[in-house]
Amino acid sequence: MGWHRELLIGFDLETTGTDPRTARIVTAAVIEVRDGQPIGRREWLADPGVEIPADAVAVHGISNERAAAEGRPADQVADAIADVLVTYWKTGVPVVAYNAAFDLSLLSAELRRYSLPSLRDRLGGVDPAPVIDPYTIDRWADRYRRGKRNLEAVCTEYGIVLDSAHDASADALAAAGLARAIAARHPKIAALGPAELHRRQIEWYAQWAADFQNFLRRKGDPEAVVDGTWPLRELANEPA
């Protein structure tokens, strides 16, 4: 059958910014997907406790007023998301996130911000796994394809309908759909078990980061550093 025909858990965050050290969760979605169809979902709206910048509001559409009026406390949201994800990992169910290093590192930073147990703590000291990241897999499997690699562009490449980009539920569902589509196009990826695919992505991401770092240094930035850690970077929080 292949892992892509089994239960997958789509995951996405919409946030106040693009730096996982300082950005805060605004909305989140965890969607159970089987055979391409959503069979269950959990959604959260948080009051991040800080102002949501106008450019972030323009992306995901959640205003400061709505977040303050309808959102749950940010620490409760982060704690709930972590508990849900850990439940799947403990049973070996893959969590699918597009550019997982961002979402999981940001969630980790939120847990640390509120002195909550980390993902590793909740998993008994092991790293979150298995994680499936269509961004990382596509970049390895079709490395010479030109053009953008954002979620919208890669969905178009694989024929995945993305109804509302930057809506957490839509993006989580699209990520799961992309994982299935990539596996269908690339049988060697479909043939890997989730645990082995997770290990391969660690290698692929590290190789991409090293290559990109070398590229930046050749182009005139000798101090460029590209972090090759995947899928979780335990970054120290910085003041927001």
- CA dist list (Å): 5 to 29, 37, 111, 173: 21, 11, 32, 15
Q: Mean of the pLDDT values across residues 42-58?
A: 98
Handedness of CA 171, 176, 179, 185 (dihedral sign): negative
Q: What pLDDT shows up at residue 237?
A: 61
Q: Where are the domains of the chain?
A: 3-218
Residue 169, pLDDT above cutoff 80: yes
73-112: pLDDT as tens digits? 999 999 999 999 999 999 999 999 999 999 999 999 999 9
C-alpha to C-alpha distance for 221 and 227, rounded to whole angstroms: 15
**Range 120-144 average pLDDT:** 98
pLDDT category at 234 given cuts 50, 70, 90 is: confident
pLDDT digits (tens, 9 = 90+) for 57-76: 999 999 999 999 999 999 99
pLDDT at 35 over 80: yes
Q: Is the pLDDT of residue 240 over 60?
A: no
H/E segment holding residue 164: none
Q: What is the pLDDT of residues 170-189, one digit of tens each?
A: 999 999 999 999 999 999 99
CA distance 85 to 191: 24
Residues 6+ apart with CB under 8 A from 190: 2, 3, 4, 183, 184
Q: What percent of the chain has pLDDT over 90?
A: 94
Does 157 score more than 60 pLDDT?
yes
Band the pLDDT of 238: cuts 50, 70, 90.
low
> What is the value of pTM for the model shown?
0.95
Percentage of the chain modeled with pLDDT above 70: 97
Tell me which residue of 87, 86, 91 sits closest to 195, measured CA to CA.
Answer: 91
Arithmetic mean of pLDDT, 113-125? 98
Name the average pLDDT for the chain.
Answer: 96
What pLDDT score was predicted for residue 239? 52
Report the CATH superfamily, name and number, of domain 3-218.
Ribonuclease H-like superfamily/Ribonuclease H (3.30.420.10)
